[in-house]
Chains A and B, each alone.
Chain A
Amino acid sequence: MEELLTLVEKKLRENFGDHIISAEMMRDFPVFAIKRDKIVEVIKYLYDDPEMEFRFLTDLCGIHFPDNKGEELGVIYHLHNMPKNWRIRLRIFFSAEDAVVPTLTTVFSAANWMERETYDFFGIVFKGHPNLKRVLNVEDMIGFPMRKEFPLEDQTREDKDNTMFGR
């Protein structure tokens, strides 16, 4: 897996220079941190390049680190090259005030609902998405549930006493 890391890092740095922030191995996955504005070009390059050929989007999810000021929200992409069985992870981070990311639906149709789910949970707006509405929660809900400050329990219920339930 280390060879995969060096190979992909070399190709990405050749083509995108300093848009690639970092490259490291986490357990058995090469993980690359990319700058937000070029993420779709990077993924399209990884899709088209005949040596890379990452033609399968395994997963797309969001993440919230409230302690990293200026880089609170992030989106994580998992890509997969099926014939050669290569898997990599790409991460982008940006601040919560400016949570806009270009959409990946032009490259992968699978990203459609995955981006809607990320919008639903974190409030990250995907620019260019054909139908950016909430997919799992009620459409007129206020607030973004997976952010750390949103409470888990329903705040309007009156029959359960928080102190007795250890919350």
Chain B
Amino acid sequence: METEVIDKSKISLGSSPPGIEGPGFFATKLDQVIGLARANSIWPLPFATSCCGIEFMATMAAHYDMGRFGAERLSFSPRQADLLMVMGTIAKKMGPILKQVYIQMAEPRWVLSMGACASSGGIFDTYSVLQGIDRIIPVDVYVPGCPPRPEQVLDGIVKIQELIKSESLRRRQRPEYKAMLAQYGIE
């Protein structure tokens, strides 16, 4: 049986935030450390309604593994979730339920809108479809596509990770954030 020889020079560690390093300690800003921890252990809430949900299942499966990004532990309870992934068409009947799920999530929370239907109504320009979830909740990242390929979804997750890493700890208490939520009617 032949074993593969791994070329150790090609393995590199992930980048660490800027800071002061010394024997046995590493000092950096609290924001950076917490951002790093949060970004690499997201607990997503899959709010799957239609076809994009099946592509999400394919993203979670072994071929395009989402566990590489630390997000394989799905949380169906909003209280324990970080990232609300809205996948699929949201009809007007479903709108209030989506808003309630968003309100039940604890801060910090992010929203990823996957697919054309969630971002803007998609091909369904009809009387019963909500033309984009950003009419009722604030959205952080939009992933276009109908349905988006799993690589695109992973790109969206990486963008969320960038947002999380660079977020300041006080952002959610600032008046601008509260004013933005008030625009949507959320306290």
Contacts and interface: CB of A to CB of B under 8 A. Distances in A.
A138 B127 CA distance: 11
A159 B130 CA distance: 13
A138 B96 CA distance: 12
Main secondary structure of the interface of B (DSSP, over half): loop
Interface residues of B, number: 8
A138 B126 contact: no
Interface string B82-97: 0000000000110000
B107 interface: no
B93 A138 contact: yes
B128 A137 contact: yes
Interface in B107-154: 125-129, 131
Interface string A103-115: 0000000000000
Size band of the A side of the interface? Answer: 10 to 19
Interface-centre pick from B125, B127, B129 (highest chain A CB count, 10 A): B127
B125 to A, nearest CB: 5
Contacts of B131: 154, 157, 159
A153 B127 contact: yes
B58 to A, nearest CB: 28
Nearest to A152: B126
Interface in A56-113: none
Given A150-B127, A153-B127, 4 more contacts: A137-B128, A138-B128, A152-B127, A157-B131
